[in-house]
Structure 1
Amino acid sequence: MRKANYVPKLPDFLSLCERNYAALYRLLPQKSVVGERVFIRFTERDEYCLTILAVAPFTTRIQIELSGGWHGFFQPSFDVQLYHDARLAEVVRAQQQWHFVAVYPYPNQTMSQPDEKRQINLLLKDWLNLCARHGYHATSA
C-alpha cells in the first residue's frame, strides 16, 4: 500500500508562525538595532544569544545560537525572519540549510522530511516554550 503524499495545511502553518512571532517578540528589545544582542540563560553554562541581523520597516531578521554550553558538540543555530505587518515569524535558516520549500519529495538527496519547513518551525516553538518556562534574560552586550 502506497503512503499518501504530504499536503501542507496552510492555516495550521500560519497559526504556528503567529504563535512563534508572539513568543519571540517578547524576547526582543523594544527598539531593534542591527548588531544588538539579547542573552537567554538557562544555566550558568548554557545560554542562547539572539542577535539582530537586519532591520527593515516591516521585517526583522534575527539569529539564534547557543553561545555557552558544550563547545565542540552540536551547536544549534538558526535565523528567523519576523514579518511585523503580518505578525509572523518563520525560520529561514537552520544549521547550514537555507530556503526551505513547503514539501520535499521523499526520499531526496538531503534526506529532508516531506514537512521539513513545518518541523523546523515546530523546533522554534519548542525552543520558545523552553525559554518561557526555564530561561531568563541575562545582561545584553
Structure 2
Amino acid sequence: MTAKPKYRPKLPDFLSLCERNFAQLNPLLPAKLAVGERQVIGMDDASYFRLEVLEVCPFTTVLRIVPLSDPAWPALQPAFDVRLYHDARLAEVISCHGRRGFKAVYDYPNSEMLQPDEKRQVNRLLSDWLRLCRQQGYRPEPVPG
C-alpha cells in the first residue's frame, strides 16, 4: 500500500479563490467602509446575516459576517471574519466559527483534527456561502437601530 502524498497548496488556485470571493463580496458591502458600519443581508424570510466593518486600513478592511437568526444547525450558518485586500482585490477568511490563524498546511492527523488544506476549505466555505447569497437573491435590509 503506497502512502498518500503530502498536501501541497497551489498558490495560484488559492489566489483565484480569494479573487472570486472579493468580487462576490463587493455587492454586499456597506455603502461606507468605516469602522462600525453595518449591512444586514436577508436571504429568505428566516435567514439574515450582518456584515460589520471591524477595521479599516489604507489597503485592507476587516469584515465580520455573522448570522442573526438562531439556526437549528449552527454549522449551516457560518460566522466569518474576512480581510479584504483592496490593492490586490482579494478576500481571505481570517476567522471561521471563532477559529483564527489558519496555517497553509496542517499535518494529518493532528490533535484538533483539522484537514491538511483547512485554510483553503474555510475560504471555499465563504465562496459557497456567497454563491448561496447570490442564488437566494440576497437583499440589503435596514440596519436595526
Structure 2 gaps, min length 5: none
Answer yes or no: is 1:138 the counterpart of 2:141.
Answer: yes
- Corresponding position of 1:11: 12
Q: What is the correspondence of 1:44-123 to structure 2 with a 5 Å cutoff?
A: 44-70=45-71, 73-74=73-74, 76-123=78-125
SS across alignment from 1:35: coil
**Alpha-carbon deviations, 1:47-85, whole Å to 9, x = none?**
0111111111110000011012437x5252110000001
**Alpha-carbon deviations, 1:13-72, whole Å to 9, x = none?**
00000010011112112321111111111222210111111111110000011012437x
What residue identity is the alignment partner of 2:101?
A: H
SS across alignment from 1:26: helix
Q: 1:20 and 1:99 mapped to 2: Cα distance? A: 19
Kept in 2, the 8 Å contact 1:45–1:69? The answer is no
SS across alignment from 1:12: helix
Kept in 2, the 8 Å contact 1:46–1:69? The answer is no
Q: What is the correspondence of 1:12-51 to structure 2 with a 5 Å cutoff?
A: 12-51=13-52
Q: 1:96 and 1:34 mapped to 2: Cα distance? A: 20
Structure 1 gaps, min length 5: none
Q: 2:43 and 2:15 mapped to 1: Cα distance? A: 29
Kept in 2, the 8 Å contact 1:47–1:66? The answer is yes
The share of aligned pairs that are identical, in percent, is 51
Q: 1:105 and 1:85 mapped to 2: Cα distance? A: 32
Q: 2:94 and 2:7 mapped to 1: Cα distance? A: 21
CA shift at 1:137, angstroms? 1.4
Kept in 2, the 8 Å contact 1:47–1:69? The answer is no
Q: 1:60 and 1:139 mapped to 2: Cα distance? A: 22
| Alignment RMSD | 1.3
Q: 1:46 and 1:140 mapped to 2: Cα distance? A: 15
Q: 2:111 and 2:27 mapped to 1: Cα distance? A: 38
What residue identity is the alignment partner of 1:121?
A: N
**Which runs of at least 4 in structure 1 moved beyond 2 Å after TM superposition?**
none
What residue identity is the alignment partner of 1:15?
A: S
